[in-house]
C-alpha cells in the first residue's frame, strides 16, 4: 500500500535525493515547481519500493481527476506501476500518468505491451537549451537576440543583481505591473494562479532552493527571473517577467541569468508554451536543442 503526504518545504531533501541524480529533464520534477503549485493541484508524494511517486489532481470539466507523474527511482518499476494503478482505481480513476517522455513510453510499452493508450501534448513540451547557447548567443540564428541586447545597451545603463530576500518585494511590484498589462477575461484565472505560485516562491526563496536575477535601471527593477535545478545537469527557468516598455529587456535578462547559472548545468529548461501563440513564437526564437516530448499515458481497463 502506498502512503501519500502533501508536498511541503521540509520535504525538499527527501524529494531531490531522487530527482537530482536522475536523467529526467521534465520541468515538473523541479522541487520548487512541485511545492509552489501544490495549492492548486493538491500535490502529494510517496516513497515506495525505492521509487518517488508524485500524484496530484487536475480539473476536468466539473470534477477533479487523480493523475501521477512517472515514478523516479531504481526499484521494481512493474510492481510500482501496478501499485499506482491500485491506488488510482481505489479513488475511482483509471491510472493516468502525465509528462511521459519517449523514454518513459518505451519502458511502459516494454513492461505493459498494449496496456496503455497515449495522448501527445504539444502544448506541454519542454524547451531544452544548451546553457552555452543562451550565454554566448553565437551564430546567425541568434543575431536578432544580439541586436535586441545591443539596442538595450545603447539606450540604458543597467545593473544585474542576484535576487535576495531584500528585493523580492520589489519583484512583486514589477509582477503587479506585468499582471495589469497582460490580464484579460480569457486568462485572468491562469494569471491569478501564477501570481499565487510566484508569491509563495518569492516568500520562500531560499528554502525552495531557488536562485534568480534582476535587471535594474535607475535603481528600478525592470525585469527579473528565477529558477532551480531539475537534476544534476539541468536547470529550470520557472519565471521570467519584464516591463516590455524597455525594448530588448527579455533578451538581456535571459542572457544575464544564463551567465550566472553554475556551469555544472549543461542544459537549461525554459519550460512549456501552454499553446499560447506569442509565447510559442518567443520560445522557438531561442532555438532549443531539444523539444522534450510529453504524453499522457492512460492504462486501459
Q: Is the pLDDT of residue 186 over 70?
A: no
Q: Report how far residue 223's alpha carbon sits from residue 239's, in angstroms, rounded to the nearest whole number.
A: 11
CB 246 within 8 A of CB 222: yes
Residue with C-alpha cell 494562479? 193
* 5-125+295-299 and 126-290 agree in CATH topology: yes
| Bridge partners, residue 266, by sequence | none
pLDDT digit string, tens, across residues 2-39: 999 999 999 999 999 999 999 999 999 999 999 999 99
Determine the pLDDT at residue 8.
Answer: 98
Q: How confident is the model at residue 185 (pLDDT cuts 50, 70, 90)?
A: low
Domain 126-290 CATH class label: alpha beta
Determine the pLDDT at residue 18.
Answer: 98
The residue extents of the domains of the chain are: 5-125+295-299, 126-290
pLDDT digit string, tens, across residues 284-294: 999 999 999 99
Q: Report how far residue 294's alpha carbon sits from residue 102's, in angstroms, rounded to the nearest whole number.
A: 7
- What is the mean predicted confidence (pLDDT) over 207-225? 97
Q: Report how far residue 173's alpha carbon sits from residue 206's, in angstroms, rounded to the nearest whole number.
A: 20
Percent of residues, the chain, with pLDDT higher than 70: 99
- What is the mean predicted confidence (pLDDT) over 220-245? 96
Q: Report how far residue 116's alpha carbon sits from residue 230's, in angstroms, rounded to the nearest whole number.
A: 27
* Residue 110 CB partners (closer than 8 Å, separation 6+): none
Q: Report how far residue 144's alpha carbon sits from residue 117's, in angstroms, rounded to the nearest whole number.
A: 42
- What is the mean predicted confidence (pLDDT) over 228-242? 97
Mean pLDDT of the chain: 95
Q: Which of 252, 234, 250 is nearest to 242 (CA)?
A: 250
The fourth-level CATH superfamily of domain 5-125+295-299 is Gcn5-related N-acetyltransferase (GNAT) (3.40.630.30)
- What is the mean predicted confidence (pLDDT) over 102-121? 97
Q: Report how far residue 257's alpha carbon sits from residue 84's, in angstroms, rounded to the nearest whole number.
A: 39
* Residue 252 CB partners (closer than 8 Å, separation 6+): 148, 149, 152, 158, 215, 223
Amino acid at each position: 500500500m502506498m502512503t501519500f503526504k502533501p508536498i511541503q518545504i521540509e520535504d525538499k531533501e527527501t524529494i531531490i535525493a531522487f530527482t537530482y541524480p536522475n536523467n529526467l529533464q521534465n520541468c515538473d520534477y523541479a522541487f520548487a515547481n512541485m511545492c509552489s503549485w501544490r495549492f492548486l493541484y493538491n500535490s502529494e508524494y510517496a516513497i515506495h519500493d525505492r521509487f518517488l511517486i508524485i500524484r496530484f489532481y487536475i480539473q476536468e470539466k466539473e470534477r477533479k481527476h487523480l493523475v501521477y507523474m512517472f515514478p523516479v527511482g531504481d526499484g521494481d518499476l512493474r510492481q510500482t506501476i501496478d501499485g499506482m494503478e491500485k491506488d488510482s482505481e481505489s479513488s475511482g480513476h483509471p491510472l493516468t500518468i502525465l509528462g511521459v517522455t519517449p523514454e518513459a513510453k518505451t519502458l511502459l510499452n516494454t513492461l505493459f505491451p498494449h496496456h496503455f493508450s497515449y495522448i501527445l501534448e504539444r502544448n506541454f513540451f519542454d524547451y531544452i537549451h544548451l546553457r552555452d547557447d543562451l550565454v554566448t548567443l553565437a551564430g546567425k540564428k541568434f543575431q536578432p537576440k544580439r541586436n535586441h541586447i545591443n539596442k538595450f545597451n545603447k539606450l540604458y545603463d543597467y545593473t544585474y543583481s542576484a535576487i535576495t530576500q531584500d528585493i523580492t518585494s520589489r519583484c512583486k511590484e514589477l509582477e503587479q505591473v506585468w499582471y495589469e498589462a497582460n490580464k484579460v477575461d480569457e486568462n485572468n484565472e491562469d494569471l491569478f494562479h501564477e501570481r499565487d505560485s510566484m508569491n509563495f516562491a518569492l516568500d520562500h526563496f531560499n528554502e525552495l532552493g531557488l536562485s534568480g536575477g534582476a535587471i535594474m535601471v535607475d535603481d528600478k527593477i525592470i525585469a527579473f527571473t528565477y529558477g532551480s535545478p531539475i537534476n544534476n545537469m539541468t536547470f529550470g527557468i520557472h519565471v521570467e517577467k519584464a516591463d516590455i516598455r524597455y525594448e530588448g529587456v527579455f533578451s538581456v535578462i535571459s542572457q544575464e541569468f544564463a551567465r550566472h547559472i553554475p556551469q555544472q548545468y549543461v542544459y537549461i529548461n525554459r519550460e512549456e508554451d501552454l499553446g499560447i501563440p506569442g509565447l510559442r513564437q518567443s520560445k522557438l526564437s531561442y532555438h532549443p536543442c531539444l523539444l522534450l516530448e510529453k504524453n499522457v499515458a492512460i492504462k486501459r481497463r
